[in-house]
Amino acid sequence: MFLYEMLPGESLEDIAQRFDTTMEKILKANGLADSSLIQAGTVMCIPGQPELTFFPFPVDLNLAALRVVDGLLYVLYTDRPFYTPGQPVYMMFIKTNISPRLIRLTYPSSQRFDLIVLQGNRKIWSWSRDRVFLPVVAVAELAPGQSQIYCTVWDQSANNPNEFELGPGLFSLQAINKAAELDDAKIELRLRLELPEEPPEPGPGVPRNYLGNSGFEQWLDQEHLSIWTG
């Protein structure tokens, strides 16, 4: 079983066909008698195996945060430690059972995790905001060595009610597992937003040592050069 978010214009029948299941099985997996609660933005449980999702960058643990919580290894990773404004932030949250026993996790809704961006004490963005989660209790099992992986991309847009925007400097990414047994245990990764550097302007009296024309030359006609700065 895995999570899927319904897209605008998509129907439950479309989703069932895409994942080779039936609408009845999807409703049963989510504890629903009918599809009236399902709408665009609804995060639901889909029976079966998910489509393979590959993170577009190699995982470098030097850029990751790690934490052990009740036999589970949390790994929170992004594709780089610093970003420029508007640059996509690729996020991956991995939860692995490193204990010798089967771990059962109870979720009070179809939400399994959350990702939150903070700058200081200001919440800038959260993955769960504006998403709809079904009020169905479910139990997920992780055998020893088994993992659950969640990937998403943040475009640096803010979605907080106070309209706080991400500014230059340090900010933090938090990942939270929503299982009742884990009591919202979180892991945090520190990142940085950097403004692009502007080329320095030459000081007074400093001769220019670069070409003033991006085309290298300007010609009055086919034989006479009009400008050459060097």
Task: Report pLDDT digits (tens) over 143-175.
Answer: 999 988 888 889 999 999 988 999 999 999 999
Residue 24 identity:
E
pTM beyond 0.75: the answer is no
Q: What is the dihedral of CA 146, 190, 186, 140, to 10 degrees?
A: -30
pLDDT for 210 equals: 52
All residues at 6 or more sequence positions from 221 whose CB lies less than 8 Å from its CB, including other chains: none
Share of the chain above pLDDT 90, in %: 48
**Closest-CA residue to 5 (of 117, 127, 92, 172):** 127
Share of the chain above pLDDT 70, in %: 81
Q: Give the angle subtended at the CA of 203 by the CAs of 201 and 206, to the nearest 5°.
A: 110
**DSSP code of residue 121:** T
Strands (E), the chain: 2-5, 42-46, 64-69, 72-78, 82-83, 89-97, 103-107, 113-119, 122-126, 132-133, 138-142, 147-154, 169-177, 186-193, 218-219, 225-227
pLDDT, tens digit, 9 for 90 and up, residues 74-131:
999 999 999 999 999 999 999 999 999 999 999 999 899 999 999 999 999 999 998 9
Q: What is the pLDDT of residue 46?
A: 86
pLDDT digits (tens, 9 = 90+) for 13-58: 999 998 889 999 999 888 888 888 898 889 888 887 665 555 666 7
Let me know: does 14 contact 46? Beta carbons within 8 Å.
no
Distance CA 7, CA 42 (A): 8
**Domains, the chain, ranges and CATH?**
1-51 (3.10.350.10), 53-193 (2.60.40.2360)
pLDDT at 229 over 50: no
Position 194 confidence tier, pLDDT thresholds 50, 70, 90: very high
Distance (Å, rounded) from C-alpha 23 to C-alpha 47?
10
